[in-house]
Amino acid sequence: MPELQRVVWEWESLIVRLRKANAPLADLLSRSARPIAAERRPDGRLLLVLGCWVAADRATLEEPNTLLYLQDSFKGLLEERVELLITEWPARDGAPDEPPDPLRGLPDEVRALGVGCGGVLKRTFFAEAARRGIVFDCGYPVLNYRLDFALPRQRLGVEIEGWNWRAWARPGAAERREREQTLGFEGWTVLWFTGEEILRHLDESVEAVTRALAGRRRF
């Protein structure tokens, strides 16, 4: 099971268990934070990224003592070594108990496609691409694999994986990964992005798709 999916499924029960030890902190997480990415580090640690959409709560969670307490708490709750990162919510800030929806404002038929494309980082990417006129199929099957996003007619795909695997992957791994995917999907070009790239550099990520799409159209 993917790391993020496991944590998301367990999130409510984790909050219930945390509340027994620290109710105010559990309530804060419940009203304004959710897991948005998870990644297994080479040393075995689980990097868990929580997106928070209330600025005041985010400032509290980022306090060193609070962050260390939460990290130790999740280590016990998940029964493994955990590195915790607090960051912004991909769809920007909003009101407590109402995580901002990146698909808001899209036409109903496009929004319906985006709902099924995965977590908030993936929905954020889908929404930004759609606002630029690029509407992807989500979970598109190719051979025995499913691409996160695909434009079947142009044979262009996008994968969003983990949080920042480029930072610790061995030199050249990202390039080899993209080349292998390009060769392996019978003429498909597949772009890979990290979760951090989608959060911090969304415009550049979608622009990379636009350039790749323009290149495909020349052939």
Cα–Cα distance, 140 to 145 (Å, whole number): 8
Q: Can you give the pLDDT at residue 180?
A: 64
Asked whether residue 112 falls in the same domain as residue 55, the answer is no
Please tell me what DSSP assigns to residue 152: G
Task: Note if the pTM is more than 0.85.
Answer: yes
Asked whether residue 208 falls in the same domain as residue 113, the answer is yes
Q: Can you give the pLDDT at residue 1?
A: 52
Asked whether residue 72 falls in the same domain as residue 168, the answer is no
Establish if 94 belongs to a structural domain: no
Asked whether residue 136 falls in the same domain as residue 52, the answer is no
Question: For the chain, which ranges sit under pLDDT 70?
Answer: 1, 167-185, 216-219
Asked whether residue 40 falls in the same domain as residue 74, the answer is yes
Q: Can you give the pLDDT at residue 168?
A: 63
Establish if 200 belongs to a structural domain: yes
Up-side HSE of residue 78: CA atoms within 13 Å toward CB?
A: 25
Q: Can you give the pLDDT at residue 10?
A: 94
Cα–Cα distance, 202 to 79 (Å, whole number): 34
Q: Which of 42, 58, 88 is the last residue of a domain?
A: 88
Total domains, the chain: 2
Asked whether residue 124 falls in the same domain as residue 63, the answer is no
pLDDT tens-place string over residues 200-213: 999 999 999 999 99
Cα–Cα distance, 141 to 125 (Å, whole number): 19
Q: How many residues in the chain?
A: 219
CATH value at residue 184: 3.40.960.10
Q: Can you give the pLDDT at residue 42?
A: 85
Q: Can you give the pLDDT at residue 165?
A: 75
Q: Can you give the pLDDT at residue 186?
A: 76
Domain extent for 49 = 3-88
